[in-house]
């Protein structure tokens, strides 16, 4: 409420979002006059999880409550206020605050061993691909996965839903995932009587594919690689040492299609203070297990190595050198004024939050990434909110946060868990 009262938007900026309706993608343009609240869903699983649903509902509750009290004052809350808020929740997002989903399209398609397409993703050679590169023509439901995790990670209804959208997604994995999740959001909207179909945005790859060479993300990558001191500054934000220089600030994609940040190894080489080259090696790498079977670890299969000349990054152009920047860098291009993390401290990485905050502090001095203001980017640190780790929604019986929403027979049991959002003080 305090932030909203002082907020001055930037109407000159315009942001592109989308929604899926009946399996079709619809573009939406919104101006920077809005105060944007970021939540997210994953491309590492087509089915909506209880964790994702909690994040969507929390974002909408925050959005609508603050919009309402900003207009009507935040005195004693009466029954009429609650009735009015409930009516607003049934409508699409509108008002000063807009909640949205920032969906990261560079992650592996089975990052957390909970994708019912997992076997065919590996067999087709796409397990180390960024999700946005994955094609669906050879993908099919993994029957072993379906049998093993029925009722804990996936339901029969969700398997049929995924099969249906596999046939109509024009060979695009990310389109299939979004179509599935939006259809699930529509059904949940009826159950909760809250419109849960938030606007969404894909980053970083889709955003860079649409940019020209002078675009914001291109500028950020060039600035971070301009010399030794720029790389050193970024390393400091990540809490990394410059001794070995093995952390890549943007992960160059292999000609074979690989782009997994976990599977990529690197070494940054300098000639005096000038970036000379970046050596990249992709190796088959274990990713993460699901919450039901800690021994079932997903995998990114990749074998490749190559060297990029420094010029490819200091004079960066995505179409020539496709790559995936680290999240703390590309999040600078997100329109977010407030952020809703999911369980930072237990389920989310504190290190990610740390680098996210430190890069903004470093940019405020206009020395690390120069001229961000020319792109309309504010270096002010967005409000940091968090779904309390102790009160994350879980499957009522199996107690896992990665359960698909279709596995929960009585949705009311989730609502009874309440909604606990905490403010992370910086």
Residue 347 has pLDDT above 80, yes or no: no
pLDDT in tens, 391-410: 999 999 999 999 999 999 99
pLDDT in tens, 173-199: 999 999 999 999 999 999 999 999 999
Q: How confident is the model at residue 426 (pLDDT cuts 50, 70, 90)?
A: confident
Of the given ranges (320-329, 331-340, 341-350), which has the lowest mean pLDDT? 341-350
pLDDT in tens, 40-55: 999 999 999 999 999 9
Task: Pick the closest to residue 267 from 288, 286, 281 (CA basis).
Answer: 281
What is the rounded CA–CA span in Å between residue 380 and residue 400?
35
Give the DSSP per-residue string, 6-20: H---EEEEEEEEEEE
Mean pLDDT of 287-316: 98
Residue 339 has pLDDT above 80, yes or no: yes
What is the rounded CA–CA span in Å between residue 170 and residue 63?
34
Residue 150 is part of which domain span? 1-426
Of the given ranges (109-123, 220-234, 363-377), which has the lowest mean pLDDT? 363-377
Q: How confident is the model at residue 377 (pLDDT cuts 50, 70, 90)?
A: very high
Q: Helix, strand, coil shares of the chain as percentages rounded to 5?
A: 35, 25, 40
What's the confidence (pLDDT) of residue 75?
82
What's the confidence (pLDDT) of residue 230?
96
What's the confidence (pLDDT) of residue 131?
98
Q: How confident is the model at residue 107 (pLDDT cuts 50, 70, 90)?
A: very high
Mean pLDDT of 209-223: 97
Q: How confident is the model at residue 71 (pLDDT cuts 50, 70, 90)?
A: very high
Handedness of CA 71, 72, 73, 76 (dihedral sign): negative
User: What is the token pair recorded at 275?
Assistant: 């970036």
Q: Distance from CA of residue 233 to its chain's centroid? A: 24
Mean pLDDT of 343-368: 88
What's the confidence (pLDDT) of residue 348?
64
Mean pLDDT of 282-300: 98
Say how many domains are in the chain: 1
| 3-class SS string, 211-278 | CCCCCHHHHHHHHHCCCHHHHHHHHHHHCCCCCCCCCCCEEECCCCCCCCCCCEEEEEEEECCEEEEE
Q: Judge contact between 301 and 316, C-beta under 8 A.
A: no
Mean pLDDT of 61-83: 93
Q: How confident is the model at residue 290 (pLDDT cuts 50, 70, 90)?
A: very high
| Claim: this prediction has a pTM higher than 0.75 | yes
Q: How confident is the model at residue 153 (pLDDT cuts 50, 70, 90)?
A: very high
Task: Pick the closest to residue 378 from 365, 367, 364 (CA basis).
Answer: 364
């Amino acid at each position: 409420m305090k932030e909203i009262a002082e907020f001055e938007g930037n109407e000159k900026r315009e942001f592109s979002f989308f929604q899926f309706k009946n399996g079709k993608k619809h573009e939406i343009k919104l101006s920077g006059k809005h105060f944007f609240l970021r939540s997210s869903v994953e491309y590492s699983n087509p089915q909506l999880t209880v964790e994702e649903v909690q994040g969507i509902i929390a974002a909408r509750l925050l959005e609508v409550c603050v919009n309402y009290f900003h207009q009507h004052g935040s005195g004693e809350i009466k029954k009429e206020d609650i009735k009015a808020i409930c009516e607003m929740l049934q409508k699409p997002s509108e008002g000063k605050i807009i909640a949205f989903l920032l969906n990261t399209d560079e992650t592996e398609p089975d990052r957390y061993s909970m994708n019912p397409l997992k076997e065919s993703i590996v067999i087709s050679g796409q397990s180390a691909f960024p999700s946005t590169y994955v094609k669906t023509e050879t993908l099919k439901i993994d029957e072993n996965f379906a049998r093993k995790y029925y009722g804990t990670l996936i339901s029969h209804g969700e398997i049929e839903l995924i099969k249906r959208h596999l046939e109509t997604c024009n060979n695009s994995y990310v389109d299939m995932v979004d179509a599935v999740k939006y259809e699930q959001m529509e059904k949940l909207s009826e159950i909760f009587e809250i419109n849960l179909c938030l606007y969404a945005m894909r980053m970083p790859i889709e955003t860079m594919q649409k940019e020209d060479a002078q675009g914001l993300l291109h500028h950020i990558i060039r600035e971070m690689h301009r010399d030794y001191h720029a790389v050193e500054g970024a390393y400091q934000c990540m809490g990394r040492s410059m001794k070995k220089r093995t952390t890549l600030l943007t992960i160059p994609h292999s000609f074979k299609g690989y782009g997994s940040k976990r599977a990529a190894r690197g070494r940054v080489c300098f000639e005096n203070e000038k970036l000379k080259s970046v050596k990249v090696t992709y190796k088959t790498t274990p990713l993460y297990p699901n919450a039901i079977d800690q021994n079932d670890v997903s995998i990114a299969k990749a074998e490749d190595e190559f060297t990029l000349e420094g010029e490819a990054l200091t004079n960066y152009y995505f179409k020539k050198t496709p790559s995936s920047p680290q999240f703390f860098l590309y999040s600078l291009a997100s329109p977010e004024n407030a952020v809703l993390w999911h369980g930072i401290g237990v389920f989310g990485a504190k290190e990610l939050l740390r680098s996210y905050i430190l890069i903004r502090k470093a940019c405020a001095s206009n020395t690390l990434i120069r001229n961000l203001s020319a792109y309309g980017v504010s270096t002010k640190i967005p409000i940091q909110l968090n779904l309390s780790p102790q009160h994350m929604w879980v499957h009522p019986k199996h107690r896992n946060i990665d359960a698909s929403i279709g596995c929960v027979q009585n949705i009311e049991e989730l609502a009874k868990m309440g909604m606990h959002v905490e403010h992370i003080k910086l």
